[in-house]
Structure 1
Amino acid sequence: MPPQQNSILRPRAPSIFPGSYAVGPQVQSAWPLEADAFRVDTGALSLGKTDSTGETAAEKRRLRLAPEPVPRDSVLIAPSDSWRGALRESVNLSVWTDPQLWKAGLIEFASSMALAFITGAIGVTVSGYPPYMIGPALFVASTVVISLFIYAFSTSSGAHLNPLISIATMFTGLSHPVRSIIYVACQVAGSCVGGGFLRVGLGYARALEVHNGGCFLDPNGPVTVGQAAAIEFIAAFSMLMIAFGVGLDPRQKQLYGATLGPLLVGMTVGLIVSGTSTLNPGYTGAGISPGRCLGLAAGLGKFYSHDWVWWVPDVAAAALHALLYFAAPPYTRELRCPEPKSKSQTGSVVGDGAV
């Protein structure tokens, strides 16, 4: 007799898809709505009012909140149940013209523009620091900036802010392909505008001297293109592994909550950026944000033939992470022990654990 299938999912995945910060507000079509999926017991909340028996009003009324319809203006397109479904939906014109999707894309554009300018300015500032101060300064700055941007924009667009995140969530089925494509286009465009503002503020000579605060690999320096590609790949893969575990995967929202996840992701980015920032002269370290690298270079108007190292390794890392994500999902199911069979069912009983 097979064990009972009353399994427990930890963290539990509710039927309404609440999303992580990167998934954003949407309804997951793959998980049908269940009655009483969200039950909130507010009996312990004291409102300071008592009735004739001395009980508080909150203690007297215990509210059970069933799932309510999600307002259309707060819903983004849900991920498809399969890649075949995603491809079929991607040729549907109504998906591409969804106004809510483009509003979210506009937020990604504006936030990426601001993020590229701020992070580029930070890069310019720390470039004049002594080498032993660059790493710690970048860690603190990156942690604070990324966390604040996620807190600010997570409820409106999911705060991807990075083509690597949009591509990774698409590969893992957490973001619809159309949404990811629109986001990547808006992120790159916004980063280019932000890079342009920084170049204007610095002046061309200064911007050229500090590479506009962006990603740089000296073609004549000690770090080869192959070495930079290897560093970029493992840095992007490491970031995705940790970020999905602490904030990107919606199941983890049950574990870390909406407040702690963005901070942990910001710390992850800060660790990687600071840890690779001073590996070798002529190399600014892992970019792990292709849109930002391209945008700051576009603002300066100077490109190199090896600029693919900020894109190709990141996409490859996202693909490898997706394979691992499906081969070994980042959650476990625990099966309850089967009920012992009676003597009449088994014909004999062996201690208390007869099966």
Structure 2
Amino acid sequence: MKKLVAEFIGTLWLVLGGCGSAVLAASYPELGIGFVGVAIAFGLTVVSMAYAIGHISGCHLNPAVSIGLWAGGRFDKKELLPYISAQVLGGIAGAGILYLIASGKSGFELGGFAANGYGEHSPDGYNMLAALVTEVVMTFMFLIVILGATHPKAPNGFAGLAIGLALTLIHLISIPVTNTSVNPARSTSQALFVGDWAMGQLWLFWVAPIVGAILAGIVYKMISPNNE
């Protein structure tokens, strides 16, 4: 239960910090942080939580990460469903808090609410194939970094920093394509509030990250050094 509470809190923070920066600050007239700032914000949420709850739950914050770690032989299959449930619920809670804050502004309009999308709902108009390839490849690389940085032979104490920086880089690459998911919990939380097109496109932001994560787990098992 401690692990699940930690995953709930961590995913809540990821959505509130990352999506919150996009909804509340990215387009602020005078101090807009832009998509670079949003990318940094997502990375900071992971870095901060890695050192806050990494020793409790491993700080997955993402169903694709849990599945990728399982595929790589680093996570028990029986813990998958509880972890994924805690992550999705935490993401929804984070989106709910963000909605309460954002809707407190006069003239509030929900808009895209930092949801992920393709086609006309891609930030820069990328089609479904481009979105699919982007999400598979970005999640694959994210899991390669996670599996490598947390390997027993990796330098101690730097995993959280490496993983957070990797997520920042992923956002810098892919925000224009899909608004960056690589995380089904983060996608679900925003889509539930937007509804309509966001729910209709949500399937891609579950399928692609999971496929990328499983491929990464398989590949890293093949190239990983032994633990001795």
TM-score, with structure 2 as normaliser: 0.85
- For the structure 1 residues 292 and 207, does the alpha-carbon distance in structure 2 shift closer, same or farther, using more than 3 Å as the test? farther
- For the structure 1 residues 239 and 166, does the alpha-carbon distance in structure 2 shift closer, same or farther, using more than 3 Å as the test? same
**Is the aligned partner of 1:137 residue 2:40?**
no
**Is the aligned partner of 1:234 residue 2:137?**
yes
Give the structure 2 partner of residue 110 of structure 1. 9
Where structure 1 has 5 or more consecutive residues not aligned to the other structure, the ranges are: 1-101, 335-355
* Contact in 1 for aligned 2:191/2:202 (Cα 8 Å): no
**Is the aligned partner of 1:263 residue 2:166?**
no
What is the CA–CA distance in structure 2 between the aligned matches of 1:290 and 1:127, rounded to whole Å?
25
What root-mean-square deviation, in Å, do the aligned CA atoms of Structure 1 and Structure 2 show?
2.6
* Contact in 1 for aligned 2:26/2:35 (Cα 8 Å): no
**Is the aligned partner of 1:214 residue 2:109?**
no
Give the structure 1 partner of residue 22 of structure 2. 123
The answer to which structure has the higher helix fraction is 2
Q: Tell me the CA shift for residue 323 of structure 1.
A: 2.2
* Contact in 2 for aligned 1:162/1:184 (Cα 8 Å): yes
Give the structure 2 partner of residue 190 of structure 1. 90
Q: Tell me the CA shift for residue 164 of structure 1.
A: 1.2
Give the structure 2 partner of residue 245 of structure 1. 148
Q: Tell me the CA shift for residue 277 of structure 1.
A: 1.8
* Contact in 1 for aligned 2:16/2:98 (Cα 8 Å): yes
Percent of pairs identical after alignment? 21
> 1:168-207: per-residue Cα shift (whole Å, max 9, x none)?
1111221111212100011001111211121122129735
Amino acid across the alignment from 1:274: L
Count of matched residue pairs: 221
**Is the aligned partner of 1:150 residue 2:46?**
no
What is the CA–CA distance in structure 2 between the aligned matches of 1:206 and 1:164, rounded to whole Å?
33
Aligned residue among 76, 87, 90 for 1:176: 76
- Name the SS of the counterpart of 1:305 in structure 2: helix
What is the CA–CA distance in structure 2 between the aligned matches of 1:129 and 1:164, rounded to whole Å?
35
Which one has the largest radius of gyration?
1
- Name the SS of the counterpart of 1:311 in structure 2: helix
> 1:203-256: per-residue Cα shift (whole Å, max 9, x none)?
2973522x2233233546632112111111111111111221123x3x24xx31
What is the CA–CA distance in structure 1 between the aligned matches of 2:60 and 2:4, rounded to whole Å?
10
What is the CA–CA distance in structure 1 between the aligned matches of 2:28 and 2:74, rounded to whole Å?
40
* Contact in 2 for aligned 1:207/1:300 (Cα 8 Å): no
Give the structure 2 partner of residue 224 of structure 1. 127
What is the CA–CA distance in structure 2 between the aligned matches of 1:242 and 1:296, rounded to whole Å?
26
What is the CA–CA distance in structure 1 between the aligned matches of 2:33 and 2:11, rounded to whole Å?
27
> 1:61-119: per-residue Cα shift (whole Å, max 9, x none)?
xxxxxxxxxxxxxxxxxxxxxxxxxxxxxxxxxxxxxxxxx221122112212321121
What is the CA–CA distance in structure 2 between the aligned matches of 1:305 and 1:219, rounded to whole Å?
13
